[in-house]
Amino acid sequence: MMETKMMAGLTVASLKKHPALIPLLGCVAVGAAAAGGYLLRLATCNEVTSWDHKNNMQPWQKMKPTHQLKFYAARHDYSQLKHPEDRPDI
């Protein structure tokens, strides 16, 4: 029979032999959890995402032009911005 070998650091026994891999696995786990949390936030809290297609099919049509879509805006206050005069009224 062919024996399956796992990579070093993927089992508790191999982590005991290679303790330097523990911080690496911890950082990878924290990064994966942060990426998953941010994707969950985008899917549930973003104004452009529409889960209700019957009542609000295109939610981006109801947003104001000064609405802030960024996660973090360091210097801009989007509520104070105005349209340029040459912008067409659509």
Classify residue 5: in a domain, yes or no: no
Task: Note down pLDDT in tens along the chain; length 90 residues.
Answer: 445 666 766 788 888 888 888 899 899 999 999 999 999 988 887 777 778 778 777 777 777 777 777 667 677 676 777 777 776 666
Classify residue 43: in a domain, yes or no: yes
Asked if residue 6 lies in contact with residue 13, where contact means CB atoms within 8 angstroms, the answer is: no
Distance in angstroms (rounded) separating the CA atoms of residues 47 and 43 = 9
Asked if residue 67 lies in contact with residue 78, where contact means CB atoms within 8 angstroms, the answer is: yes
Classify residue 56: in a domain, yes or no: yes
Asked if residue 44 lies in contact with residue 38, where contact means CB atoms within 8 angstroms, the answer is: no
Classify residue 85: in a domain, yes or no: no
The count of domains in the chain is 1
Classify residue 6: in a domain, yes or no: no
User: How many CB atoms sit inside 10 A of residue 50's CB?
Assistant: 13
Q: What is the pTM of this model?
A: 0.56
Range of the domain at 67: 12-80
Classify residue 90: in a domain, yes or no: no
Residue partners of 79: CB distance under 8 A and separation at least 6: 66, 68
